[in-house]
Amino acid sequence: MPSHILTIFTFSENVMAQQIHIVEDDVAFVKMLTSFLERKGFNVTVSLSGEKARKTISESNFDLLITDLKLPDDSGLDLLEFSQKASPNTKVILMTGYAEVDTAVKAIKKGALDYISKPFRPEELLMIIEADSQNTDSSEEHISETVEPKKPALQSTSEKPKFVIGISEASKKFNEYLKLVGPTDMCVLIQGESGTGKEVAAKAIHNYSSRKDKNFVAVDCGAIPKEIAASEFFGHVKGSFTGAVNDKRGHFEAADGGTLFLDEVGNLSYENQIQLLRALQERRIKPVGSNTEIEVDVRILSATNEDLLKAVSEGKFREDLYHRLNEFSIHIPSLHERKEDLFLFIEYFLNEANKSLGKEVIGLSKEVEEAFKNYAWPGNLRELKNVIKRSVLLTNSQLIPLEVIPREVLFAEKTKKETVDFSKESNEKQLILNALKEADFNKTKAAKLLNITRKTLYNKLEHYQIDL
């Protein structure tokens, strides 16, 4: 098998691929892939060279094209362009065996939809094809998890999330878990840093389940005062308390038959935790002021960026509720943990910002690319999305220039070499002082510049006896 592999998948707009054309000179690999795909009901045609592939593409229509990047007589990128001319409405997914992001991004810019890294299990390929069949509304939805604006306390929707698979190992494992647990009815606890896209992950789980045609109700537990939480979750009847001028359905009733997503579940008061646990155990709720119980069929997904186990040990979160919510746990990797996906996210958010703002910015300058690569992105996808949108708004050229990039991103780039030795005390104190000065002595901003938490910064200020 060639050492450098890139696979491109091209398939029709509205249905899962049925006719597949494999272009590959590795006979053993072709046999394995052909056997698997045929067992799944696909019709497979094989070409062992670029010349044969071009002839076959010209003579027949295929839903899916799979091609090696480096063929004995051709290039996968050139075949991609050739296929697009022969079938302009096709979609494109690519797979690389050497995880070369630049090449993959280049292919995406040429029209490829997605890619996956070799070696891979055939099931992973099937996951990509199935995921695309669920997201046919927009090809731009196949970049990665996306971050949505801060939501109100309640959102009810059945629309599909903007979701695809990245190329990093962390992203692939994360997506495998989503696909695995989605069809079950297990309660899932989604954990990850702020801004990683926990609600998008929850929507993906919902859409992988048999409940996908029912409501997906998202609740921001941090936005609900504890005094009215019972009413919000279980509803109330008219006259049950001052201000209850009408009957009201709660979140559980709204999500009946579907999925209830509890974001920042760790923010619930202890009393509210008891009420929630009872509802989960009994699968029955009682609206405030009512004597009648209502049966509900709801799948619970929850999310937190806090350490719930620590909260349990401190007596702040009920252990029985924790285990009830945590039948299966998923960790969303931070942007720092999946650096290989960075420019895919950038490409997606750039397209999104252009649409929103009516701009035509096509990319980043080399200086900005370098700054973005060196920045840790503590705010994850939400921060990246905001930086891209702000930069597009301020850009009057085809490429985003350095001068429109926020100071914290540039500062991190300037001090990259210094921060490598951050753990050394001889450098650490000076770095802290530099960050404080750069942030105009705003401790929150300084902590962000140093890529540490505010609590850690305060501890270090005390350690070095820095008095502000």
Cα–Cα distance measured from residue 353 to residue 392, given in angstroms and rounded to the nearest whole number: 7
Give the β-pairing of 259-263 and 299-304: parallel
Compute the mean pLDDT over every residue in the chain, rounded to the nearest whole number: 79
Counting every residue written for the chain, the total comes to 468
Q: In the structure encoding, which two tokens stand for residue 272, read together? A: 């509210």
What are the backbone dihedrals phi and psi of residue 26, each rounded to the nearest 5 degrees, phi first?
-90, 105
Q: Cβ neighbours of residue 322 under 8 Å, at least 6 residues apart?
A: 308, 309, 312
- Please tell me the predicted confidence (pLDDT) of residue 165: 62
Residue 47 backbone phi and psi in degrees, to 5: -125, 130
CA atoms 87, 88, 89, 90: torsion sign = positive
Which domains can be identified in the chain, with CATH numbers? 6-141 (3.40.50.2300), 154-331 (3.40.50.300), 338-463 (1.10.8.60)
Q: Which helix (H) or strand (E) holds 38?
A: helix 27-39
Q: Say how far apart CA 157 and CA 412 lie, in whole Å.
A: 39
- Amino acid found at 69: L
Helices and strands per DSSP (H, E), number in the chain: 20, 17
What is the rounded distance in angstroms from the CA atom of residue 462 to the CA atom of residue 465?
5
**CA 252/CA 287 separation, integer angstroms:** 10
Contacts of 224 (CB under 8 A, 6+ apart): 153, 232
Q: What is the pLDDT of residue 424?
A: 44
pTM over 0.85, yes/no: no
For residue 149, whether the previous peptide bond is cis, meaning omega lies within 30 degrees of 0, is: no
Dihedral angle of Cα 174, 175, 181, 183, to the nearest 10 degrees: 170
What is the residue whose two structure tokens read 């992950």?
A: 201
Q: Which residues of the chain have pLDDT under 70?
A: 1-17, 90, 92, 94-106, 108-109, 113-121, 123-124, 127-128, 130-165, 412-427, 451, 468
Buried b or exposed e, range 172-199, using 16+ CB within 10 angstroms: bebbebbbebbeeeebbbbbbbebbbbb
Judging by DSSP bridges, how do beta strands 70-71 and 74-75 pair with one another? antiparallel
DSSP 102-148: HHHHHHHHTT--B--BSS--HHHHHHHHHHHHH-TT-GGG-SS---P
Q: What is the number of other CB atoms lying within 10 angstroms of the CB of residue 369?
A: 16
| Bridge-based pairing state of the strands 154-157 and 216-220 | antiparallel
Kindly give the residue spans of alpha helices, DSSP state H, lying in 182-316.
198-208, 229-234, 251-254, 270-282, 308-313
Cα angle value 335/341/345 (rounded, 5°): 80
- 35: number of Cβ within 10 Å: 12
For residue 427, the model assigns a pLDDT of 61
From residue 465, alpha-carbon distances to 2, 49, 432 in Å are: 59, 69, 12
In this structure, the dihedral spanned by the alpha carbons of residues 271, 185, 195 and 167, taken in order and rounded to 10 degrees, is 160
| Tokens 């997606």 belong to residue | 348
Q: What is the DSSP string of 231-266?
A: HHHH-B-TTSSTT--S-B--HHHHTTTSEEEEETGG
Residue 391's contacts (CB-CB under 8 Å, 6 or more residues apart) are: 368, 400, 404, 405
- Report the phi/psi class of residue 21: left, alpha or beta, with left for phi > 0 and alpha for psi in -120 to 50: beta
Structure tokens at 4: 């450098």
C-alpha to C-alpha distance for 295 and 286, rounded to whole angstroms: 9
Burial of 78 (0-12, 13-18, 19+ CB in 10 A): middle
Tokens of residue 350, six digits:
């750039």
- Confirm if 290 and 250 have CB atoms less than 8 A apart: no
